[in-house]
Amino acid sequence: MARFVTYSQTGGPEVLTVTEGPEPEPGEGEVVVEIRAAGVNPIDWKLRRGIRPSPPFTEPRRVGFDGAGVISAVGPNVADWTVGDEVVVQSTQGTYATHVVARAADLIPKPAEVSFEQAAALGIPVATAFQVLASLEVGAGDRLLLHGGSGAVGQAAIQLARARGAVVVATASEPNHERVRRLGAIPVAYGPGLLERLQEASPEGYTVALDCAGTDEALQTSLALVDRARIGTIVQGAQYHELGLQAWSGGSPEPLTPEQQALRDGAMAAVLPLVAAGEFEVEIGTVMPLDEAAEAHRLSESGAVRGKIVLVP
């Protein structure tokens, strides 16, 4: 039997239940992946709480978009994958499970040097950082003001921006400064006096800003230091859109363009070899059993864990 985390109404973590059912079967162009690890992302609990809109319930809804595992069954007209292949799953809902059906086109080979937990932790954070940095045209000579540098997207953005040749100044709480510094950014504590501290950290100024924090001070300091054309957010999409700033998801009324979606779709293939080579770090905050999905959501919502929360069946 397979197990799946589902919910039938929006609400708190308690609406999540673990249910059993037959192992799924793949259709044409599909495979079944036996999940070994699933990444927990804020979008998972925002959908569960109803913060992000979703269609009306017609059946129990499955949770999770990031995962890694081993192919256990292959459907008709799948030429590139075989049973036993280790893969990373992307753009597939329902990864909080022992098994998930995925389109063959949505799989990426998992390098042997990358653990299942690492692979499951990459997905949405890496895809988001990869796309927004490209959309902001971050490159050599840029000085990036990054709000929220110690989160999963922030950590990915630091590393990818540094690889593009940018200098990164990242806000974070003081206990997280060493982590931010290790990844190659200049850490700055947020809170009262932030503008002055940011000016001291980069006397040359800033050329681009990315908000991964979603606070008023992030918006106000970005507006004070950076040209409006190169300010973007992933968390306060509606507000930034109203101000004529760049926003991707995060409540933005503008959907991703085909070009932006293509950047996200290509991110994992670009970053997995870097992880395998030890050139990109993935911080795993905690690994929890699948049965503790509700507690994983509580931890994610509270921000009590730095690094990715990963579920394992």
Q: Is the CB of residue 45 less than 8 Å from the CB of residue 85?
A: no
Q: Is residue 293 part of a domain?
A: yes
Number of domains in the chain: 2
Residue 243, pLDDT score: 96
Residue 225, pLDDT score: 98
Residue 172, domain CATH: 3.40.50.720
Q: Is residue 8 part of a domain?
A: yes
Q: Is residue 269 part of a domain?
A: no
Looking at the fold, whether 192 and 288 belong to one and the same domain comes out as no
Q: Is the CB of residue 120 less than 8 Å from the CB of residue 53?
A: no
What per-residue string of b and e applies to 246-267 under the rule 16 or more CB within 10 Å gives b? bbbbbbbeeeeeeebeebbbeb
Looking at the fold, whether 199 and 226 belong to one and the same domain comes out as yes
Tokens at 267, concatenated:
């991110």
Looking at the fold, whether 46 and 106 belong to one and the same domain comes out as yes
Looking at the fold, whether 281 and 308 belong to one and the same domain comes out as yes
Looking at the fold, whether 21 and 70 belong to one and the same domain comes out as yes
Looking at the fold, whether 308 and 285 belong to one and the same domain comes out as yes
Q: Is residue 69 part of a domain?
A: yes
Looking at the fold, whether 128 and 236 belong to one and the same domain comes out as yes
Q: Is residue 228 part of a domain?
A: yes
Which three-class secondary structure state does DSSP give residue 243?
A: coil
Looking at the fold, whether 55 and 136 belong to one and the same domain comes out as no
In which region does residue 177 sit, left (phi positive, over 0), alpha (psi from -120 to 50) or beta (all else)? alpha
Looking at the fold, whether 242 and 153 belong to one and the same domain comes out as yes
What does the pLDDT profile of the chain (313 residues) look like in tens digits? 999 999 999 999 999 999 999 999 999 999 999 999 999 999 999 999 999 888 999 999 999 999 999 999 999 999 999 999 999 999 899 999 999 999 999 999 999 999 999 999 999 999 999 999 999 999 999 999 999 999 999 999 999 999 999 999 999 999 999 999 999 999 999 999 999 999 999 999 999 999 999 999 999 999 999 999 999 999 999 999 999 999 998 889 999 999 999 999 999 999 999 999 999 999 999 999 999 999 999 999 998 899 999 999 9
Q: Is the CB of residue 150 less than 8 Å from the CB of residue 307?
A: no
Nearest to 86 by CA among 64, 62, 65, 113: 113
According to DSSP, the β-strands at 66-74 and 86-89 are antiparallel
Range of the domain at 146: 124-258
- Claim: this prediction has a pTM higher than 0.75: yes
Whole-angstrom distance, CA of residue 205 vs CA of residue 136: 17
Q: Is residue 265 part of a domain?
A: no
Tokens at 126, concatenated:
């890496």
What per-residue string of b and e applies to 114-138 under the rule 16 or more CB within 10 Å gives b? bbbbbbbbbbbbbbbbbbbbbbbeb
Residue 91, domain CATH: 3.90.180.10
Q: Is residue 153 part of a domain?
A: yes
Looking at the fold, whether 87 and 155 belong to one and the same domain comes out as no
